[in-house]
């Protein structure tokens, strides 16, 4: 455990403990209370967790992590926990348990949900780890670097604190590159185009470190003749790290940026770029945080590309991607998002040789970077070790390219690439599609 | 004696049922969550899938990789339900026909072996032992004894074991006889709405 955490634990007051417990209780509904009564501690979930696969210790068994949470639940909110705590494993909410919660909920879980589908009972464990994180957040125990990402989003409208001028300049630069690549001086990366059909959103990492993936998405839109735009100010960043700090008010404020941009620009469809947690945040959690359904559909760019190919709006030549490609399934997009097939249909058309990992789809392993792990430097070594499972999966495919429709996953896969000498290229699906595009003549593109 | 014990079993069953109802009432008091995001799949189909194929080796790695435990668990639960059915039959004065009697004895034997093997696994596997509370051992012990004694017929030991088991139902982990269904239904609704269960059911709004 870090000195920073120990210092924070030392500083906790009785009021902090009481607040944490009250927030935990407030977050629980009947469903969660049922889950906390349901675990039979059969232990069959153990190897479903990439942390346990990589390091088979008791602390990495999902049921053990869950037990840390249910122990407190039992002690404070159940009769048997009060009457016979030793029998049922109830533990009072004290420094030791707070420490255990931090370690379990932040330090050993990427909220990937793989344990849920492998649980004998069927307990959706991330829901409970979220409740724990939220309680810890109310006690000021969210790791500082993860919290900083949220603060950036709240203060600057994006999690990397990119100023508007820098963002606009990046987009203009990419637009010039797009025009040079397509030979079409009319090719645009539109900003604030009123009444465009699609509002496209990206991960700020694209602007900062991976502008070519933004250019690739723009090229696909250009080839499809899509009516689209991006926002120049609030509403272009799809990320929402409050999904990981589990502070719903912050999450609501961040997702509101997207809803406001949709209204401001009069767009019809909110398009989420290649980002797992961004998709889950906007598509599934956003309406819950805002307590109302969006008046517009939220789709992934993967679904759009699938649609373009299906309708013949874009054509691709798979021989332009001759190297064997494998596909990584981001947990938030696939297991928690339901987007599993569109990217596969797209890649089967856009690359010459798609080699699936085993297992894949909703059974795929987390890369280790989910749940905000990439933003918690405290747990870096654990994250890289847990990622060894994904590294082995990739190696087993023999692929030279990993398609990863998520920029957080791309960051983690990049680190795994170095750590485990994978010698693979890591690309977004849009980059592979853009590379395979049979480029239409400029006159054929009708925005 | 048996009549008194039968009354005891009925009283214990009432306690178990009442306890489970109370537990359900307690968790319901936590309130329900309203869902706002439009579904991309069919929650009902998700629930059906969660209770069927999602529990099969084909869909569940934890089953595929632990087939002996899975089979032991299946036998164990088959034995438990058989013993409970026998208990009802005995209390109602029914006599089982020969072939059914033979089948029930087979299931009870398999169930007792399944329960015992899982108990031994919990005792001797370091990780599983570390995961366990006294409740886990006690619940398994009471249940396995109940199934095993059913093999000996409706005598005093079996009825006493039934009473103890039923009394313990709402107190410890056997409460999963209720919460298994609640949790699994929630799992099915959650993944069904998102088009994850059944696989390939996601549709764009």
Does residue A327 belong to any structural domain of this protein? yes
What ipTM was assigned to the predicted interfaces of this complex? 0.94
Number of domains in chain A: 3
Enumerate helices (H) and strands (E) in chain A, giving the number of each: 24, 8
Tell me which residue of A225, A227, A202, A226 sits closest to A215, measured CA to CA.
A202
Shared-domain flag, residues A317 and A291: no
Does residue A117 belong to any structural domain of this protein? yes
Shared-domain flag, residues A160 and A244: yes
Choosing among B186, B188, B193, B201, which should be mutated to test the A contact, i.e. which has the most A CBs within 10 A?
B186
**Rounded Cα distance, A117 and B140, in Å:** 24
A28 reaches B (C-beta below 8 A): yes
User: How far is CA A155 from its chain centroid?
Assistant: 21
Does residue A64 belong to any structural domain of this protein? yes
* Structural domain of A338: 310-436
Does residue A445 belong to any structural domain of this protein? no
B190–A89 CB contact, under 8 Å:
no
Residue A243 backbone dihedrals phi, psi, to 5 degrees: -60, -30
Domain boundaries in chain B? Answer: 2-24+60-173
B 19-38 → A contacts, CB under 8 A: 23, 26-38
Cβ contacts of A291 on chain B, cutoff 8 Å: 34, 36
**Rounded Cα distance, B25 and B28, in Å:** 5
B35–A288 CB contact, under 8 Å:
yes
End-to-end CA distance of chain B: 65
**Rounded Cα distance, A434 and A301, in Å:** 13
> Closest Cα of chain B to A216: distance in Å?
23
Choosing among A25, A28, A38, which should be mutated to test the B contact, i.e. which has the most B CBs within 10 A?
A38
Tell me which residue of A420, B92, A249 sits closest to A412, measured CA to CA.
A420
- Among A307, A337, A353, the domain boundary falls at A307
Predicted pLDDT of residue B205: 47
B176–A46 CB contact, under 8 Å:
no
Does residue A235 belong to any structural domain of this protein? yes
Chain segment B73-121, per-residue pLDDT in tens? 999 999 999 999 999 999 999 888 888 889 999 999 999 999 999 999 9
Q: Would you give per-residue pLDDT tens digits along chain A (447 residues)?
A: 588 899 999 999 999 999 999 999 999 999 999 999 999 999 999 999 999 999 999 999 999 999 999 999 999 999 999 999 999 999 999 999 999 999 999 999 999 999 999 999 999 999 999 999 999 999 999 999 999 999 999 999 999 999 999 999 999 999 999 999 999 999 999 999 999 999 999 999 999 999 999 999 999 999 999 999 999 998 999 999 999 999 999 999 999 999 999 999 999 999 999 999 999 999 999 999 999 999 999 999 999 999 999 999 999 999 999 999 999 999 999 999 999 999 999 999 999 999 999 999 999 999 999 999 999 999 999 999 999 999 999 999 999 999 999 999 999 999 999 999 999 999 999 999 999 999 876 666 655
Shared-domain flag, residues A201 and A276: yes
Shared-domain flag, residues A329 and A263: no
Does residue A148 belong to any structural domain of this protein? no
B27–A30 CB contact, under 8 Å:
yes
- Among A272, A307, A342, the domain boundary falls at A307
A 224-263 → B contacts, CB under 8 A: none
Q: Provide the 8-state DSSP code for A189.
A: -
A22 reaches B (C-beta below 8 A): no
């Amino acid at each position: 455990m870090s000195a920073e955490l120990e210092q924070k634990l030392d500083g906790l007051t009785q009021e902090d403990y009481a607040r944490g417990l009250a927030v935990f209780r407030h977050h629980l509904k009947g469903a969660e209370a049922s889950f906390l009564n349901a675990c039979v501690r059969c232990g069959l979930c153990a190897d479903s967790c990439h942390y346990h696969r990589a390091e088979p210790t008791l602390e990495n068994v999902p049921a053990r992590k869950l037990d840390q949470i249910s122990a407190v639940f039992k002690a404070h909110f159940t009769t048997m926990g009060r009457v016979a705590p030793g029998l049922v494993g109830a533990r009072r909410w004290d420094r030791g348990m707070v420490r255990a919660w931090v370690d379990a909920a932040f330090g050993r879980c990427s909220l990937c949900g793989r344990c849920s589908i492998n649980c004998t009972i069927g307990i959706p464990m991330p829901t409970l780890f979220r409740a724990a994180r939220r309680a810890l957040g109310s006690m000021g125990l969210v790791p500082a670097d993860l919290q900083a990402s949220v603060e950036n989003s709240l203060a600057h409208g994006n999690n990397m604190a990119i100023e508007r001028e820098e963002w606009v300049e990046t987009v203009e630069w990419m637009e010039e590159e797009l025009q040079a690549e397509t030979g079409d001086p009319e090719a645009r990366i539109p900003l604030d185009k009123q009444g465009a059909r699609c509002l496209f959103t990206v991960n700020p990492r694209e602007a900062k470190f991976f502008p070519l993936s933004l250019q690739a998405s723009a090229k696909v839109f250009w080839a499809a003749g899509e009516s689209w735009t991006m926002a120049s100010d609030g509403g272009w960043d799809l990320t929402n790290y409050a999904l990981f700090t589990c502070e719903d008010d912050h999450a609501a404020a961040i997702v509101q940026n997207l809803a406001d941009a949709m209204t401001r620009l009069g767009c019809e469809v909110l398009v989420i770029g290649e980002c797992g947690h961004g998709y889950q945040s906007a598509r599934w959690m956003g309406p819950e945080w805002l307590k109302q359904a969006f008046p517009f559909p939220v789709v992934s760019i993967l679904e759009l590309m699938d649609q373009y190919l299906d309708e013949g709006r874009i054509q691709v030549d798979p021989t332009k991607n001759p190297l064997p490609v494998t596909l990584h399934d981001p947990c938030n997009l696939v297991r928690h998002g339901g987007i599993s097939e569109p990217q596969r249909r797209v890649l089967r058309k856009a690359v010459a040789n798609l080699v699936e990992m085993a297992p894949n789809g909703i059974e795929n392993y987390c890369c280790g970077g989910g749940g905000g792990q990439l933003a918690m430097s405290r747990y870096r070594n654990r994250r890289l070790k847990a990622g060894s499972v994904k590294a082995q999966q990739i190696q087993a495919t023999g692929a030279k390219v990993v398609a990863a429709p998520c920029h957080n996953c791309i960051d983690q896969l990049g680190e795994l690439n170095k750590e485990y000498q994978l010698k693979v290229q890591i690309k977004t699906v849009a980059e592979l599609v853009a590379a395979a595009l049979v480029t239409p003549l400029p006159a054929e593109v009708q925005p | 004696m048996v009549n008194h014990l039968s009354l005891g079993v009925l009283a214990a069953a009432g306690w178990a049922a009442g306890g489970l109802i109370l537990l359900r009432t307690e968790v319901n008091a936590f309130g329900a969550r309203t869902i706002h995001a439009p579904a991309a799949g069919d929650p009902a189909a998700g629930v059906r899938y969660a209770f069927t194929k999602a529990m099969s080796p084909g869909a569940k790695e934890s089953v595929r990789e632990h087939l002996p435990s899975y089979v032991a668990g299946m036998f164990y639960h088959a034995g438990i339900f058989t013993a409970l059915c026998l208990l009802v039959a005995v209390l109602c004065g029914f006599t089982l026909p020969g072939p059914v009697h033979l089948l029930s004895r087979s299931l009870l034997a398999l169930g007792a072996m399944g329960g015992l093997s899982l108990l031994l696994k919990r005792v001797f596997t370091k990780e599983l032992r570390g995961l366990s509370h006294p409740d886990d051992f006690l619940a398994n012990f009471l249940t396995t004894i109940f199934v095993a004694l059913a093999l000996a017929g409706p005598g005093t030991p079996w009825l006493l074991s039934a009473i103890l088991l039923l009394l313990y139902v709402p107190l410890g982990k056997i409460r999963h006889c209720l919460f298994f269904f609640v949790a699994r239904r929630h799992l099915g609704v959650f993944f069904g709405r998102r088009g994850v269960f059944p696989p390939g059911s996601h549709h764009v709004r």
